[in-house]
Amino acid sequence: MRPAPGSEPEQNIRIEQVRLVFNGMKNSLLLGSTLAVVLTLTLQTPENLHLMLAWLAMVVGGRVTCVSYAMFALHRGVTVGNASRLILGMALIKVFEGLAWGTLAWIVMGQAPLPYQLLVMASLAGVSGNAVSLLAPVFPLYASMQIPHLLIVACRLWTLDDNPYKVLAVGCLLYIVGQIGQALLIQRSSRQSIALRFENLELVERLRVASERAEQARQKAEDANLAKSKFLAAASHDLRQPVHAQELFLEVLARGELSELQRKVLGNARMAGQASAQMLNTLLDFSRIEAGVIEPQRRSFHLQPLLNKLENELGSQVDAKNIVYRSRETHLAVDSDPALLELMLRNLITNAIRYTEHGGLLVACRKRGNAVSIEVFDTGIGIAPEQQAEVFREFHQLGNPERDRQKGLGLGLAISQGLARSLGHELSLVSRPGQGSVFRLSLPLARDGIGADLLNTASQLQMERLCGMRVLVIEDDDIVREAMLQLLGNWGCECRAAEHIDEALQQVADWPVQMLISDYRLREHRTGAQAISQVRAAVGYPLPALIITGDTAPERLREARSSGVPLLHKPVSPAQLARALIEKA
């Protein structure tokens, strides 16, 4: 749609047309002046020499004035306020130029030999044609030159007595009409071309603004995600310290003599502590995925033992809600990481239990070509189509505005999807509100050579191997340090503790330590990896060591893992700690 006359887009187009014409005039000075000189030298005779020289001065003077005016206008700038004034000034110059060129017909036509007359008509036609291409974008400039130019030529031809000249005069008038039509077409085309350029520039500017806004939004999202990760890491670390110490103290307490009531209270306390630990471990799983420190240990194994284990462990949750849990027997084997697959399926099944109030859930396996599809069906509340992508986003929960901790943290599906990506598996969802959901996990079918199932072959803790072991604990938290000393002492270890690296070096100077346990984050911005390295250098051999950390920040996890020392995450259960000590002994 054409902009309204006087509107800002139309004014901008007019300004660009004036600039286009004025820029073109800068290159016409040499060409026009050269043509005028050649014609003067060719057509001059003793009788018309003065007239030809006067004509040459008019043409060259007009052309110099025209180009100077154009350059001055471009230098000062063409604006909405001065565009009309500049056009008017240039139009007056062009009227003079048109009259100057037309005067040549009065000097030569009917006076000079016919070849010279033909040369004049051809030259004037060339000047006229050049004016169309140069001046047509601003039609008033074209008209101000060409109409006087061609009219004065037509008048000269009409005044001559021979009829052929009169016919030529009529042809000249028709030539004016034709050129005016052509000039109007060129003006319209130039206007459309400039308008299109403006539209493209506007589109580019919109895209630039949109791109900047998108980049700002992306940066804000990254900053928010980084702030979230830092907050979770700090909060998780600070919470893990007391929960870790609590579990160690409760283990020491459980090994003493207690009344029935005390054991019941102790059991409730341990259940509350385990619930806290489970939520913290969920945060840790998510942080480990973000940190990229999970290295899948893939192997071939049968699925049925894993399904049996999950059904046995999660059966109590199902019974408490009075719903049904079924898992179909399968002989299929897959190629995956057993521990990570267990975590994914545990999250999917727990999620199904959490959102199912009537009916139940079914876990089934199907062979699909060279893949196995593990499917978790439930008859729960279902998920609306617009929410199905969102449920895999961290901390997103359905139907839990009050953030009930019994409904989890909203990380289970995000963790499962992250683990599926790290393993190269595909996790998908089909759901209908009010009818239930189906989560499908597709993984490779196992090939030949399935090894023994290691899911339930954890070795028994040989506690007697810990008796008399000399253990140095480097821990700057008083409560955690005391809990570690009490638990290790209860197991029969000979223990010493240090708050920082220098104290640890003093301890090993006169005490033959056999095992080193260090917290990762120590005072003065030192790390457990540095402490272990310095103690090993002091004793002169690679002393067995463990690092225990409450950090969940991705960069901290990567740093701790790069040390090459086995890493345990707070809260560490007594069984985990004992198993790690026995493996390193």
What does the pLDDT look like over 206-221, one tens digit per residue? 888 888 888 888 888 7
Q: Are the C-beta atoms of 150 and 176 separated by less than 8 Å?
A: yes
What distances in angstroms separate CA 309 from CA 116, 306, 315, 342, one per listed residue?
111, 5, 10, 9
Measure the CA–CA gap between 95 and 142, rounded to whole angstroms: 9
Residue 181 has pLDDT above 90, yes or no: no
> For residue 441, is it left (φ>0), alpha (ψ between -120 and 50) or beta?
beta
- What was the pLDDT predicted at 377? 93
Residue 402 has pLDDT above 60, yes or no: no
Q: Give whichever of 58-62, 226-230, 344-348 has the largest mean pLDDT.
A: 58-62
Q: Please check the confidence at residue 132 and state whether its pLDDT lies above 80.
A: yes
Average pLDDT over residues 416-443: 85
Query: What pLDDT was estimated at residue 537?
Result: 92
**In whole angstroms, what is the distance from residue 387 CA to residue 264 CA?**
43
Q: Which of 224-238, 433-447, 464-478, 568-582 has the lowest mean pLDDT?
A: 224-238
Residue 255 pLDDT exceeds 60: yes
Q: Looking up tokens 């049925």, which residue turns up? A: 304
Which stretch of 353-362, 393-402, 546-555 has the lowest confidence by average pLDDT? Answer: 393-402
Three-state helix/strand/coil letters over 257-296: CCCHHHHHHHHHHHHHHHHHHHHHHHHHHHHHHHHCCCCC
Rg, Å, the chain Cα set: 46
Residues 6+ apart with CB under 8 A from 294: 288, 340, 419, 422
Contact 67, 75 (CB under 8 A): no
- Measure Cα distances from 409 to 312, 401, 441, 468 in Å: 23, 12, 22, 42
**Residue type for 223, please?**
D
CATH class of the 226-293+461-585 domain in this structure: alpha beta
Q: How far apart are CA 227 and CA 242, in angstroms?
A: 24
User: What's the sign of the alpha-carbon dihedral 127, 129, 131, 134?
Assistant: negative
Residue 101 has pLDDT above 80, yes or no: yes
As a whole number, the mean pLDDT across the chain is 80
pLDDT band, very low/low/confident/very high, at 456 (cuts 50, 70, 90): very low
Mean pLDDT of 161-186: 85
Q: What pLDDT, in 10s, does the model give residues 390-399? A: 676 654 454 4
CATH 1.20.1260.10 assigned to 297-444: no
376: β partners: 363, 439
What pLDDT is stored for residue 470 in this prediction?
A: 92
> Which pTM was predicted?
0.40
- The residue type found at 390 is E
pLDDT at position 513: 92
Q: Which of 407 and 342 is assigned the larger pLDDT? A: 342
HEC assignment per residue over 124-185: HHHHHHHHHHHHCCCHHHHHHHHHHHHHHHHHHHHHCCCHHHHHHHHHHHHHHHHHHHHHHH
Read off the pLDDT of each residue in 519-532 and give the average, rounded to a whole number: 87
Amino acid of residue 508: V
Q: Could you tell me which of 513, 522, 505, 575 has the C-alpha nearest to residue 545?
A: 513
Residue 291: pLDDT band with limits 50, 70, 90: low
Structure confidence by residue, pLDDT tens digits, 548-585 = 877 656 666 666 667 778 878 777 778 778 888 888 77
The candidate with the shortest Cα–Cα distance to 258, out of 270, 271, 267, is 267
Q: What is the pLDDT of residue 229?
A: 60
b/e code 531-562 from CB counts within 10 Å (16+ = b)? bbeebbeeeeeebbbbbbbbbbbbebbebbbe
Residue 388 has a pLDDT of 62
Q: In the predicted model, is pLDDT for residue 480 greater than 50?
A: yes
Structure token pair of residue 538: 């002091």
Please state the rounded mean pLDDT for residues 488-493.
Answer: 88
Inform me whether the pLDDT recorded for 445 exceeds 80. Answer: yes
Per-residue pLDDT for 452 more than 60?
no
